[in-house]
Amino acid sequence: YPFLLMVLHMSISTVFTQILVRTSSLLSGVTEGRVSIRDYLFRIVPMASFNAIGLVLGNSAYKWISLSYIQMIKACTPIPLLVLSIIVGSEKRSLALFVIVCTVSFGIILSSVGELHFSLIGFIIQFTAIISDSFRMIIMELFMKDLKLDTLSLLYYSAPTTLSLIHI
């Protein structure tokens, strides 16, 4: 079922954004033609690729680990996001911020130590999904701010691309 839900989600997003672009002025980023072919290939496609990887892996993890454990692992997302943001230069180094994020995440990790049905495979799959999602968020932040795309316009471009990548 997770695969079906992903396909339905991206299909519905594609259809509704297509309808909105033809019937409303809500997608100004599309109607103003802010995205060139080059922008699509080098900005939208990588972001949609990381989105597809994150969705597929994140939903696959449910086969090995429980929902509650997945939520605990997801709560550690700020650590890789902060580290990757510092590496790419979108976030300034701050020892205080790093300590705060690590402290909160460490508390979450401690609460998950008692997981009765721990699966290393499930953990690795879920953590890889988190890394992929972190890359997606960084790409959105770095590449999309100069395009000035609103959320619906970004969905207009990324949903069909993500949908096609999920099928691969």
Tens of each residue's pLDDT in the chain, 168 residues? 667 888 899 999 999 999 999 999 888 888 888 888 999 999 999 999 999 999 999 989 989 988 888 888 888 888 888 889 888 888 888 888 888 888 877 777 776 666 667 788 998 999 999 999 999 999 888 877 788 888 888 899 999 999 999 876
For residue 11, the model assigns a pLDDT of: 94
Cα separations in angstroms, 117 against 110, 121, 122, 125: 16, 12, 10, 15
Cα separations in angstroms, 58 against 10, 33, 103: 15, 33, 24
What sign does the dihedral 76-78-84-86 (CA atoms) show? negative
Distance, CA of 147 to chain centre: 19
For the chain, what is the largest distance between any 2 Cα atoms, rounded to a whole number of angstroms? 54
Residue 146 has phi, psi (to 5 degrees) of -80, -20
| End-to-end Cα separation, the chain, in angstroms | 17
For residue 115, the model assigns a pLDDT of: 67
For residue 31, the model assigns a pLDDT of: 85
Residue 34 has phi, psi (to 5 degrees) of -75, -15
18-55 residues labelled b (16+ CB within 10 A) or e (exposed)? eebbeeeebbebbeeebbeeebeeebbbebbbbbbbbb
Tokens of 86: 């510092």
